[in-house]
Structure 1
């Protein structure tokens, strides 16, 4: 079973402390590979960002909250809104939104390290608390889903001629576009997994 976890960090001004933390992040159960995307004015809309291959195939995405708010883009929206768009097409990946601003915790946004607010903690100590555990939990969940997918592939008699497993495989590998998914298709996937496949896996 592949235990490599890819992490993409996206920011218009890459935070050196956060960048170093992500690059050096390690856990004995996984092999982490990190990539950075510097957000520039070439990303006129969210589709252009979603077409980045590193983003399409990433397991974990860490993105700044204000990328789309202060630039000349056709759609103005926040990192929190981008998270919802991204996870619609990449339901097996995890995305964490980071910010320098206060008051976004209710959206699940993670505050960037600030020496004025964290006292004597180092950046590594701070990110271990607010981000490191989330990365480990996400990695465990991703690995579990890979194991379930392998089991599904070995139990094809349970789903007959359905293409659902192929679709899940494409989504996990990042080869399926969010544009291919309608609301009906997403609902169909969820219902089939919850009502048909999961009970068989628990037997």
Structure 2
């Protein structure tokens, strides 16, 4: 079963790109794509994009819009994960951060121990591979298992005729396959969620 992994960032990290491309997705069981976010992009644009829709595992940077001034109306990767799970409940979303973090369910990006000029890129690639093998790969494997289990269950339900409503079954299948026509959020829905996150930040003083 081919699993599609999409790395989403506004500034694609070369070590993470190299790791995902060379060490994770170098076999027919995975397909790797990248999605570089531009400052002019809206959240609805992101949710409607075919690359995002057709991916099974999304790896999203915690600060997608670091190249533009951070405002109250800018969602973090963690907050965007909530929205994606609403639109695509069967996708797996992993959040990564360029900062060291102990927060639950957020992984740190690899950072070279010294300036790149002092060592070769190949040496850092090897260090990044070890870092992500320990930190990120177990999450990817768990995500793959979850996706495979979901698709296998759906196939069993379909084969054995457990669901009397074929329309409901097709809606579930379409959502798994990346068709969000049944759960599309309006701009007003997105704005309302952003407003809710903004209020929550103020209450928590974060």
* TM-score bracket relative to the smaller structure: 0.7 to 0.9
1:27 shift after superposition: 7.8
Cα shift readout 1:62-90 (whole Å, capped 9, x = no counterpart): 11111146537893110000011001111
Distance (whole Å) between structure 2 residues aligned to residue 74 and residue 124 of structure 1: 35
Q: TM-score, normalised by structure 1?
A: 0.76
Asked if structure 2 preserves the Cα contact closer than 8 Å seen for 1:68 and 1:79, the reply is no
Asked if structure 1 preserves the Cα contact closer than 8 Å seen for 2:25 and 2:31, the reply is no
Which blocks of at least 5 consecutive residues in structure 2 are unaligned? 115-123, 187-206
The answer on 1:126 being equivalent to 2:131 is: yes
Matching residue of 2:12:
14
Distance (whole Å) between structure 2 residues aligned to residue 154 and residue 34 of structure 1: 30
The answer on 1:174 being equivalent to 2:171 is: no
Asked if structure 1 preserves the Cα contact closer than 8 Å seen for 2:10 and 2:65, the reply is no
Question: How many residues matched?
Answer: 174
1:115 shift after superposition: 2.7
- Within-5 A mapping of 1:93-108: 93-103=91-101, 105-108=102-105
Matching residue of 1:40:
38
Aligned-residue Cα RMSD (Å) equals 2.6
Asked if structure 2 preserves the Cα contact closer than 8 Å seen for 1:69 and 1:77, the reply is no
Cα shift readout 1:33-85 (whole Å, capped 9, x = no counterpart): 11111111231x21111111010111000111111465378931100000110
Matching residue of 2:204:
none
Matching residue of 1:161:
165
Matching residue of 1:192:
none
1:106 shift after superposition: 2.1
Distance (whole Å) between structure 1 residues aligned to residue 184 and residue 92 of structure 2: 19
Distance 1:99 1:27, change over 3 A: closer
The answer on 1:112 being equivalent to 2:109 is: yes
Cα shift readout 1:7-42 (whole Å, capped 9, x = no counterpart): 101111111110011112348996111111111123
The answer on 1:55 being equivalent to 2:52 is: yes
Matching residue of 1:82:
80
